[in-house]
Amino acid sequence: MSSRRRKMAAVVASLSLCYSARPNLLLRSFSRPKHRTMAAMSDDPIREWILTEGKASQITKITSVGGGCINLATHYHTDSAPFFVKTNRSIGPEMFEGEALGLEAMYETKTIRVPKPHKASGSYIIMEFIEFGSRGSQAELGRKLAEMHKAGKSSKGFGFEVDNTIGSTPQINTWSTDWIEFYGEKRLGYQLKLLRDQYGDTAIYQKGYTLIQNMASLFENVVIEPCLLHGDLWSGNIAYDKNSEPVILDPAYGHNEAEFGMSWCAGFGESFYNAYFKVMPKEEGFEKRRDLYLLYHYLNHYNLFGSGYRSSAMSIIDGYLRMLSA
């Protein structure tokens, strides 16, 4: 398999942040095709869409894009345009339909490049196929990410139109006007409850909730605006197109600093942060809050992949409890 195809697989394997049961908004944006070219095509809705709404008259080749651990990824070659398709028959509709809404929201900011979603259903999503090239500039990635945060504001507060998933873990995105409450209840609290119920880990649950109850002081003198986030920004969800322009996938509305929660897997360098903070200035106390956003992803990795991530999560919690004398 080529390195480009492996990269494509890595990028699309693990989309993340904020979506679930789709309202009419999704049905309007990603409606079913009105006409069918032949009765047999109804058994293959992906093929049906490509040969009708996708304006292709022929699918010339279908190739597998390997590397994902959650979904099957496929590249459809046609005589009109290439399409990228992910399928998963073992999940609920919230993953792909939420992903489509998220991609559309980021696409509409006209800042950083994202694949345009074409069609989403319960078991699949069809989107623009982007041909990836060599690694581009981290400074350009930082600048464009900040521009997306600046452009993507929400008058509804923190959350998203629908719930979604991070990996395969559900994320609850009910709107809230209070970021500290939202992050405590819908992010950290939700993960802690899963750990208690799945692993019986009452120690991390109790300590984690003590942190939630005492973390407000970390946000003193901080103006928190609801920004459109990617939410799972690690190296596998970042790529560069053939023109070396950065490409990312997936969002919700939250505190812009939450975007760096997966920085331990992203490899962001000094040029990235310098370019980012030129557009979105660093807030007072950023360094003190940084680990709070790492914690969410360590908890999620514990839930998804097991106790190997427990010590990292507990170390962050204990460090904050000492700092806050809680």
Catalytic residues: 232
DSSP code string of 129-190: ---B-S---HHHHHHHHHHHHHH-B-SS-BB-SS-EEETTEEE----BS-HHHHIIIIIIIH
CA–CA distance, 160 with 258 (Å, rounded to integer): 15
CA–CA distance, 193 with 210 (Å, rounded to integer): 13
Please give the torsion angle defined by the CA atoms of residues 301, 284, 223 and 220, in that order, rounded to the nearest 10 degrees: 90
Contact indicator for 259, 229 with CB cutoff of 8 Å: yes
Instruction: Name the strand (E) or helix (H) holding 105.
Output: helix 94-107
Tokens linked to 266: 């992203």
Tokens linked to 52: 């009708």
Angle at 225 between CA 286 and CA 11, to 5 degrees: 75
Instruction: Name the strand (E) or helix (H) holding 233.
Output: none
> Which conformational region is residue 26 in: left (phi greater than 0), alpha (psi within -120 to 50 degrees), or beta?
alpha
Contact indicator for 202, 196 with CB cutoff of 8 Å: yes
Contact indicator for 113, 130 with CB cutoff of 8 Å: yes
CA–CA distance, 309 with 298 (Å, rounded to integer): 6
What amino acid occupies position 56? A
